[in-house]
């Protein structure tokens, strides 16, 4: 299994609105992509910013490519993301899951 990590930062004042937007865009697309095994959304408020960390779980790199083709190392952004996010980080990070307890 592969873990895909994406990080985004919004102003604190837009945190809840961005979460709702995520549910209608990226999270919805994760759920409907074959080979996706779920997604966790983490949020931390720090100073006046909300830091989001998304961890999605995938059967394989081939499954990730179905969601993020052609280059699965690049972050996926939606039309309204720039209204919320402070910066659009260009890449995501992947890790092979080797053990689970």
Please tell me the total number of residues recorded for the chain in this structure: 101
- Are the beta carbons of 95 and 2 closer than 8 angstroms? yes
Q: Which domain holds residue 32?
A: 2-96
- What is the four-CA torsion angle of 51, 79, 6, 23, rounded to 10 degrees? 70
pLDDT digits (tens, 9 = 90+) for 43-92: 999 999 999 999 999 999 999 999 998 899 999 999 999 999 999 999 99
Q: What percent of the chain shows pLDDT beyond 70? A: 100
Note the pLDDT of residue 70.
81
Establish if 58 belongs to a structural domain.
yes
| Number of domain units in the chain | 1
pTM (2 d.p.): 0.92
Residue 70 preceded by cis peptide, ω within 30: yes
Given a cut of 90, whether residue 3 has pLDDT beyond it is yes
Establish if 101 belongs to a structural domain.
no
Establish if 85 belongs to a structural domain.
yes
CATH number of the structural domain spanning residue 30? 3.30.70.100
């Amino acid at each position: 299994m592969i873990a895909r990590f994406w990080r985004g930062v919004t102003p604190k004042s837009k945190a809840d609105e961005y979460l709702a937007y995520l549910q209608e865009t990226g999270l919805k697309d994760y759920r409907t992509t074959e080979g996706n095994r779920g997604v966790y959304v983490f949020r931390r408020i720090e100073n006046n910013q909300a830091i989001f960390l998304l961890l999605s779980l995938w059967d394989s790199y081939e499954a990730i490519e179905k969601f993020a083709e052609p280059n699965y190392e690049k972050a996926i952004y939606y039309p309204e993301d720039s209204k919320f996010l402070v910066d659009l980080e260009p890449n995501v990070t992947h890790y092979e899951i080797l053990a689970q307890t």
